[in-house]
Amino acid sequence: MLVERLERLMRTEEYEAGLNPAQWEALRYLARCNRFSNSPGALTAYLGATKGTVSQTVRTLERKGLVTRAKRPGGRRSIQLSLTDEGERVLSLDPRRRIGPTAATLGADTLDALRLGLRTLLHDRIARRGLKTFGLCRSCRHFIRLGAEHDPGGPHRCGLLELPLAEAETAKLCVEHEPAPASA
């Protein structure tokens, strides 16, 4: 199958670039998730791996100086994971970026069709397995657009967590995301 062959080749390039595929996935996730979703538990749910495997992945990334672990402010036992500057630098060399220039030659219509098709397949598997969606605020049922317009942390609001959301935060992956009826 085409996707399988492409995936295998990309994984080979990931190993050649010095990290295993799970380590690359963890770095990508931590770069893209919001402040409510950077915990070991959320990373485990996103990767769909066992707790032990993810713990091992995080320990290796810490040892390599790519990720740090700290107590979450205000959370009694909660841990937050963050990329270090070196983690950001390594991620900028992500071998998956090499596919970008070729993808750009496909043209907007092909890329849109590809995106739609892959998204449909992914959502179907997520729904059938009852997994978390990890979407963005704009497709979430809890998103209140301009719900905290006068709050310094706004202008938007999360109705579930009852917190203001800055514009930039709405473009991050969220472990609490639940599809809005129109986008479900």
Contacts of 32 (CB under 8 A, 6+ apart): 172, 173
Q: Which is nearer to ligand SF4, 64 or 142 (CB)?
A: 142
Closest CA to 42 of 179, 165, 178, 134: 134
H-state helical runs in 98-146: 100-104, 108-129
Looking at the Cβ atoms of 1 and 168, the one nearer to ligand SF4 is 168
CB of 140 to ligand SF4, least distance (A): 3
The least distance separating ligand SF4 from the CB of residue 159, rounded to whole angstroms, comes to 7
How far apart CA 133 and CA 173 sit, in angstroms, is 9
| Residue 29 or 143 with smaller CB distance to ligand SF4 | 143
Least distance from ligand SF4 to the Cβ atom of residue 119, Å: 17
- In angstroms, what is the minimal distance from the CB of 170 to ligand SF4? 7
What are the residues binding ligand SF4 (CB under 6 A)?
Answer: 34, 137, 140, 142-143, 158, 160-161, 174, 176-177
Which residue's entry shows tokens 């992945």? 57
Q: Whole-number minimum distance, CB 36 to ligand SF4, in Å?
A: 6
Please state whether beta strands 67-71 and 79-83 pair in parallel, antiparallel, or not at all (unpaired): antiparallel
The answer to whether the CB of 138 falls within 8 A of the CB of 180 is no
Task: Between 10 and 160, name the residue whose CB sits nearer to ligand SF4.
Answer: 160
Nearer residue to ligand SF4 within complex by CB, 6 or 161? 161
Interatomic CA distance for residues 29 and 47, integer angstroms: 9
